[in-house]
A and B are shown apart, each in its own frame.
Chain A
Amino acid sequence: MKKFPLVAVPVLLFTVLIVFLFQGLFSDPRELDSQATGKPLPDFSLPDLMQPDTSYGPDDLTGKVRILNVWGVWCVTCAVELPYLTKLSREQDVTFVGLYFDQDLDPDFGTKTLSRVQQEVTDMLSRYGNPYAFNIFDVYRDMSLDLGVTGAPEHFVIDAEGIIRMHHIGDINERVWNNKIGPLYNRLRQQNRSLEAAE
């Protein structure tokens, strides 16, 4: 009887350790808690990818629920998700805005011309579908840095007030849309519509 607790101590410690390590097997080290969620969009002033004379700011992303999609032609997963995004925009009226940045267009040692980038974008969108209302061109990749983007594709759900509600790292496919992004997007859109109807 007196010996029982002493034996239990290592067993208990071992159990705790095993539970801790076992959880580690299923945790994803790539999953970072985004700092952008819940915050308004950072201030920016960037040109349209296709019409460089048009410029956009945070105000152009309010008044409607949108999904900001960080992408580039060099990104393979982006090409894979383009047909599904196009389907969403056609069938469910989801608004996508592209935040485009180029990998080869080095701001310090420009190697690629803008018209070349535009050509590549046009080619890719005509091949896989164009879900975008418009594309913002993140010339120096500053906006991506401010948003905490680590690569492409990444998605930000932005509500009608311009607040970032979700930061999704990775592509949107049917599973991700139905389980993660779709419910939030539809709820936000519903809220916005009832607000507009009340006014």
Chain B
Amino acid sequence: MKHVLLMLLALLLSSHVTASEDNYAFDDPNTRAQFLRLTEELRCPMCQNQNIADSNAMIAHDMRRKVYALLKEGKSEQQVIDYMKARYGDFVHYQPPVTAATLWLWAIPFAFIVVAMSVVLIRRRTTVDDDNIEEKLAKADAMLKQEKE
């Protein structure tokens, strides 16, 4: 039992190991870091819930090769992202751009907070606004007294 648990733990911990097996040589550690970052950020169009670093689909393989080639040419990270977006659409990058259609992703949580806050505030104001409170308290006292008797 202990072994099974240990193995499960090991499995959980190893989840971040990526499947890419290609060997790409870099002269500059910065370019290497860029390559690793880009292949994590770019999404595979074939196997949609994987990034291209993680996927073994042919298209992901080709995209890694292209990212490598573009970085070797001296392209910046943004240029590589734009290159892929021009071919596969916004879909290919895990960071969605802010457009009229995607604005809601950011707007709805804030709108929800604003609406909830205003509801709470309005509610509170209306309950405080009770002017015959004395009368009601007297009535409640009378009821309590009655119960005691």
Q: Which residues on A are within 8 Å of B, measured CB to CB?
A: 29-30, 32-36, 103, 107-108, 141, 144-151
List residues of chain A with CB within 8 A of the CB of B57.
151
List residues of chain B with CB within 8 A of the CB of A29.
48
List residues of chain B with CB within 8 A of the CB of A145.
62-63, 66, 87
A108 B59 Cβ-Cβ under 8 A: no
Closest chain-A Cβ to B107's Cβ sits at a distance in Å of: 15
The closest CB in chain A to the CB of B88 belongs to: A148
Cβ of B89 within 8 Å of any chain A Cβ, yes or no, is yes
List residues of chain A with CB within 8 A of the CB of B22.
108
**A-B contact number at CB 8 A:** 40
Number of interface residues of B (CB under 8 A): 17
A150 B89 Cβ-Cβ under 8 A: no
The closest CB in chain B to the CB of A141 belongs to: B62
List residues of chain A with CB within 8 A of the CB of B62.
141, 144-145
Bound Cα distance A146, B62 (Å):
11
B86 A35 Cβ-Cβ under 8 A: yes
Closest chain-B Cβ to A12's Cβ sits at a distance in Å of: 13
Q: Beyond A108-B65, A148-B87, A149-B59: 5 further Cβ-contacts under 8 Å?
A: A141-B62, A145-B66, A148-B89, A150-B88, A151-B58
